[in-house]
Structures are given as C-alpha cells and as structure tokens.
Structure 1
Amino acid sequence: MPRPSVEAERRPQILAAACAAIASMGVPALRLSDVSKQAGVSSGTIHYYFETKKDVITAAFEFNLTDSLARRHELLASGKDSLAILHDLVDSYLPSDELSVRAWKVWLALWAEGSRDPVLQEINDRLYGQWRDVVAGVIGAAQDEGTAKAGDPVLLANMLIGMLDGLAVQVLLESSSMTLATMRETCQAFVSGVIEG
C-alpha cells in the first residue's frame, strides 16, 4: 500500500495540535504560533493550510467532533447486542482518559464560541445531530430486540445525551459532588432504570 503524502498527513496533524492547544488554553488566548509549536511545524506551514485563526478553530472543532463520532462508530461494529452497545457508548463518552478529557474541553470551547458564531453553530448542529442519531438508533434497535422499554428513542436519546453533557461539565469543573465515578454510576443507572426493558 502506498504511503500517504505529507500533505495528507499534515492537515490532521495540525488539527490535532489545534485541539490540544484549544483544550489547554481555550480559544481567546490561542495564537497560531501555539498551534505550530504544538504541531512541530512552522507558522508558514499552518498558513499553507489555513488563512486565519478562525479557519483553524473552525476546522479543529469539526475535526474533534468527527473524530469522536468515528470512535463511537467502532463500538457499533463490536457485534454486541444493542443494549450492551448503549452501555459502552455511555462509558466511551465519559471524560475518563487524556483523549476524552481533551475532546470534552474542545467541545466546551466550541459551545462557548458557538453561542456567537453561526458557522460553529452549524457544525455543532450537523455533527451533534449525527451523535443523537447514533444514540437514538441504538436505543431503537434495543427496543426492536426486546431489551429496552417502549418509548420514543429520540426523546430517550436526548435525555441521555443531555445528562451526559451536563454531568461531564461538572466532572471537568472538578465538582466535589460529581466525580467521574458518580457520573458513570448515574448515567448507567439511567440506562438500566429508564431505558432497559
């Protein structure tokens, strides 16, 4: 198999570096020189791929959400029953390791910036809509398999995602009343008590 070109590898490298920089310093303090330093490339290389800081930020947010969705799709192909996949999806969504914490911090930055930016709102709406579709689809499949209670899978997905999002923010803010273990227990109890049949 032929090796990918440097250009094909460089853009994702820059976007991963931008996500790391956004997670550590936020968007307002971010400079393109921070991204180039994180990526180990020159500022000129950054400008070859992106004209402005806003272009980098927009592409980084889309990269972060797309990467998160791709990791969730791997769970869908696990061969497990739908209810087990739903429990795995919940666990995969927890801010429990370096990669997921970084992704969560980028999401938080997206939501903060997106409240004022229609382009970021569209990215969030489109890609977060895909995440909602995944969760609703898994719940619907569990209902079809007889392992989940009857009900509107979209409504249940929105409830679960809203819970995950809200509790993850509390975990990231290091709330004494919402530890990672408490978040996991709360979300899994919701799946077991409200969704599971």
Structure 2
Amino acid sequence: METDDVLDGAPTADTAARVREVIAEAGVSQREFARRVVMDPSKLSRSLSGTRRFTAAELARIADEGRIDAGWLLGTRPREKDTAPAAGVEGGRPLQIVRETVRLIAEHGFHAVRVADIARACATSSATIHYHFPGRAELLEAAVRWCMDEDTARRAARLAEADDAAAELRQLIALQTPRTAQQRRQWAVWLDLWAEAARSTAVGRLHSEYYRQWRETVADVVRRGVGQGVFRAGVDPQAAALTLTALIDGLATHVLSVSGPSSDSAADAMHAALTAHVTHTILAP
C-alpha cells in the first residue's frame, strides 16, 4: 500500500499523458527520467500505465525536472512558459536536496539530520524540502536510491575499462575499497542504512535489491572468468559472490572506523586482503 499523500482529485489518465509528454521532451529513457526525479522506476511505470496514482511529491519533482507548473500536470492550469531552474542548482532542486541529504547523513548519521539542516545546506526553506519530499522516510529512501544509482553507474564504467574477467574483478574490488572522500561518504551512508533497513520496509527492499544486483554482477564476472580460463574451473559463481561480498562489508566497516592518516593504511590492508582472497580462491593457478 502506498503511504505517500495521493492526489485523489487528479485525473490519472490525463496526468499520466502529461507526464509522458514531459519525459518525451526530456529526450531520455523512462528509467533515466525516474533517476532524475529520484523515483522508483517501477512506480513510475505503474503510474504511467494507470495502475497507480502519482503522489503530490512525485508530481512536484516531475514538474521541477520538466520546468513546468505542477498545476498543468493536474489539468488545473494551462501550460505556461517553462519556469527557470533554481539558480545555481545543478540537476534541479530535488537532486540537490538528495545530494545534500547524503552528505549530511554521511557526516552526522540519518537520525541526527534535521530537515532544517538540509534546507540550510540547500539555501532554501524547510517548506521547499517538504514540497519535494514530505517526510524523513521518503528522504532516506531517495538518498539510498541515489547512492545505488551512482554506484551502479560507476560499476558499469569500471567494468567497461577492463580487458578480461580478472581485470573486471580487480576493478570491482577497487570500487568498493573506501579510499576517496566520496567512497567513504557512500560507505558511511550504507552503514546507516543497515540499521534502518531492519525497521523500514521500503528501505529494506532497496537494501535487498542492491545486494541482489551486486552479487549478480560479481557472479557474472566469475562465470565469465571461468569461461575465459582466468578463474578456477570449479569455482561456484554464486558462492564466490556471497563470500566476497561478506569480506568487503566486514573489511570496509573496519576501514570506516579508522580516521586520520591511518585510514589510508587501513584501506591498503583491506585491498591487500581482498586481492589475496581472490588470488588463492578464484584466480586460476
């Protein structure tokens, strides 16, 4: 059941048609548009097909991305000249809100971050934050989804650079080793998510889906490596993915607990341990 505020008066078919028009004008795929408005692609698909109503916050984000009046989406106002994006806001206001939420969660933890803190970081009002994301739960879900999308994009870019499956696996290990500020920030958010996933059904589903995608990526790489002869013939791809994931999670938690210059040494040790594991259990002799 949807827990968001739903616009009961909205004519679903007409609203969906107008949203389709906005997506077409954006010139991107439906999945990419969902990413831009920080929306679950399956929810966008169901809303466009008429089996689910758009929520007020979703329409606000769609209007912001399309630079149009939300009233036009609802059919209550004629379409006017495109509105200008928020000054100096890269990607639009919703993505700015999500990016700043991720940064603040990484620095202070989700439960220590107030809407007023996010509004201050975005140089806007709390009312604007609530306009796009009515509650803290929706903000957390959006932040987690954004982190997942960013990680998936980086993963695809890294794999595209590799020459064979062994190189692909090395790239994945490098991607998950928290060396840079961005990597450490996303790991900090992910650690916060583990605790929240046990309490929130929506976040729990995202948590499970991310791990499913990640393990399948690793399993596919291992499968290819066995076929290429660079990995051991008897390696079980699913078991190898599960074991490597557990090692990465445990070692990354240790790295995140270390601060200052020692964090570089901890990251080096994590990378060395993961490389040794792959050498002794996955790589062909």
Secondary structure at 1:77 match in 2: helix
Q: Could you report, residue by residue, the CA deviation over 1:56-108 in whole angstroms, capped at 9, with x for unpaired residues? A: 11111111122112111111212421111101110111110000000000000
Kindly tell me: are residues 179 and 80 of structure 1, through their superposed partners in 2, closer, same or farther at Cα, counting changes over 3 Å?
same
2:116 to 30, 33, 40: 33
Q: Could you report, residue by residue, the CA deviation over 1:25-81 in whole angstroms, capped at 9, with x for unpaired residues? A: 111111111122223332222122111111111111111122112111111212421
Alignment RMSD: 2.2
In structure 1, list runs of 5 or more residues that go unmatched.
Answer: none
Q: Could you report, residue by residue, the CA deviation over 1:136-158 in whole angstroms, capped at 9, with x for unpaired residues? A: 11111111111001221011011
Aligned to 2:271: 184
**In structure 2, C-alpha distance between the alignment counterparts of 1:24 and 1:135, rounded to whole Å:** 30
Greater helix percent: which structure? Answer: 1
**In structure 1, C-alpha distance between the alignment counterparts of 2:135 and 2:199, rounded to whole Å:** 18
Secondary structure at 2:113 match in 1: coil
Contact 2:159/2:171 (8 A) holds in 1:
no
Contact 2:100/2:122 (8 A) holds in 1:
yes
Aligned to 1:9: 92
Contact 2:104/2:113 (8 A) holds in 1:
yes
1:109 to 171, 192, 199: 192
Contact 1:82/1:138 (8 A) holds in 2:
yes
Structure ID, larger Rg = 2
Aligned to 1:139: 222
Partner AA of 2:133 in structure 1: F
Partner AA of 1:15 in structure 2: V
Contact 2:251/2:270 (8 A) holds in 1:
yes
Aligned to 2:134: 51
In structure 2, list runs of 5 or more residues that go unmatched.
Answer: 1-25, 27-64, 68-84
Kindly tell me: are residues 149 and 18 of structure 1, through their superposed partners in 2, closer, same or farther at Cα, counting changes over 3 Å?
same
Q: Could you report, residue by residue, the CA deviation over 1:141-192 in whole angstroms, capped at 9, with x for unpaired residues? A: 111111001221011011011100100001111198x811110100011111
**In structure 1, C-alpha distance between the alignment counterparts of 2:212 and 2:95, rounded to whole Å:** 23
- Structure 2 length normalisation: TM-score? 0.65
Aligned to 1:158: 242
The answer to which of 130-139 and 6-15 deviates more is: 6-15
Contact 1:66/1:127 (8 A) holds in 2:
no
- Structure 1 length normalisation: TM-score? 0.92
Contact 2:165/2:222 (8 A) holds in 1:
yes
